[in-house]
Structure 1
């Protein structure tokens, strides 16, 4: 993508997220704010990028599920919750904050789609 035609943008400007957990598995959904933003999210928020984003948590597997009619992605990350709620000493052993962490990932957004983003407009 031509850098003058696009801008690096945190995912939280394009989408919102939800997180759930079961044992040592986290489930993170990313939902587009606007249908025009969906192709960017679908193309750039891959299982490989999500695995790399959470490398410090060392997921054993990351699966991506595309929910095109909802303009949403669902990611299932295995072995990321330090054993789960009953085993971990981590204060956020449920992993509820993982959606916020994932939404920090950046994507290359065509400038003409900025009007559909949430938050302050970039220069």
Structure 2
């Protein structure tokens, strides 16, 4: 099972910090999400991209885990030389790919 099978995500950024919220589709899956998706596992998943600590905040009434990832944007979105370091534009562009 992949994360996308039980949850959706939203992202945001401010300075050199990225926030990522993961929200389950069905409330009964929140316990699984909370157990499996730790700050340490998220930091390991983004190894090489996130150079600072990752903080996790649980919002069980919303079925959401919110992660704050420090030093994640190459100095900040407007300063980074990386192509769309936060990935919003690349993922949106891929959605327009035409399958034949």
- TM norm structure 1: 0.68
Q: How far apart are the structure 2 equivalents of 1:35 and 1:48?
A: 23
Find the partner of 2:59 among 58, 67, 70: 67
CA distance change for structure 1 residues 85 and 58 in 2, over 3 Å: closer, same or farther? closer
Asked whether the equivalents of residues 74 and 80 of structure 2 are also in contact (C-alpha less than 8 Å), the reply is yes
Q: How far apart are the structure 1 equivalents of 2:19 and 2:79?
A: 18
Q: Which has the higher contact order (CA 8 A, sep 6+)?
A: 1
Q: How far apart are the structure 2 equivalents of 1:70 and 1:96?
A: 25
Asked whether the equivalents of residues 50 and 69 of structure 2 are also in contact (C-alpha less than 8 Å), the reply is no
Superposition CA RMSD, Å: 1.3
Find the partner of 1:89 among 81, 88, 91: 81
Find the partner of 1:45 among 18, 28, 37: 37
Gap runs ≥5 in structure 2: 92-100
The 3-state SS of whatever aligns with 1:19 is: strand
C-alpha displacement of 1:85: 1.8
Q: How far apart are the structure 2 equivalents of 1:22 and 1:34?
A: 30
Determine the structure 1 residue equivalent to 2:22.
30
Total equivalences in the alignment: 89
Comparing 14-23 and 57-66, the one that deviates more: 57-66
Q: How far apart are the structure 2 equivalents of 1:58 and 1:35?
A: 29
